[in-house]
Amino acid sequence: MTPELKTEAGDFSVLIRRMTQAAVRGDGRAVRACFTPDGVYHDCFYGAFRGDAIISMIEECFHRDAREFRWDIHAPLSDGVIGYARYVFSYESRLPGAEGRRAGFEGMAVCTLRGGLLESYREIANSLVALQALGFAPDRLARLAARESAAFFASPEAAAHRS
């Protein structure tokens, strides 16, 4: 049996803010340092990245496709094993056809913790709001919404909610 972790809600607040602000700066190594060796960052746009792949996701995806990030954490809570934090995230796009447009959305971070570090960071986000602000075509938004819907219903937590 695993002993109860000693991470307190205040420690989680510091950790989640350290991680998000490192991502804003484009410091992939500092983001990676917030995770366990086998930690996974599940990004709502780019997917899941494990271990050192987190560094390239931050440096090669985040900062390739956007700049001028803002990431505000609100009401972080933790019992030492799981942590939750509401956030507001925005950026200026570098994507072709959307260069310079500001996009943003609200989300919730769901984290598992081990030894005072993030074992898993997962987002539940209203990301279609950001993509609409960037001018994505309605058919592209519909495809993304369908993908999110399929992922939701495929999750183990949604098993009882399937028809």
Q: What is the pLDDT of residues 141-159, one digit of tens each?
A: 898 888 888 888 998 989 9
Determine the 3-state secondary structure of 160 from DSSP: helix
For 40, how many CA atoms within 13 A lie in the half-sphere containing its CB? Answer: 10
Percent residues over pLDDT 70 in the chain: 94
Would 136 be classed as within a structural domain? no
d(CA 148, CA 105): 16
Does the residue 163 lie in any domain? no
Read off the tokens for 97.
Answer: 């056809």
The model's pTM is 0.86
Chain segment 53-100, per-residue pLDDT in tens: 999 999 999 999 999 999 999 999 999 999 999 999 999 999 999 999
CATH number at residue 80: 3.10.450.50
Residue 38 inside a domain? The answer is yes
Sheet holding 35-43, edge to edge: 47-50, 35-43, 117-125, 102-114, 82-93, 66-78
DSSP code, position 44: T
In this prediction, residue 10 has a pLDDT band, given cuts at 50, 70 and 90, of low
Q: Give domain status of residue 146, yes or no.
A: no
Q: Is residue 132 part of a domain?
A: no
Residue 149 lies in a domain: no
Q: 59 is in which domain, residue-wise?
A: 9-126
pLDDT over 50 (residue 2): no
Mean pLDDT of the chain, nearest integer: 90
- Domain membership of residue 83 (yes or no) is yes
CA–CA distance, 18 with 22 (Å, rounded to integer) = 6
Record the tokens describing residue 129, joined without a space. Answer: 């709001």
Q: How far are the Cα atoms of 35, 44, 71 from residue 87, in angstroms, in the given order?
A: 19, 13, 7
Whether 155 is covered by a domain: the verdict is no
CB 55 within 8 A of CB 61: no
pLDDT confidence of residue 131 = 86
Number of domains in the chain: 1
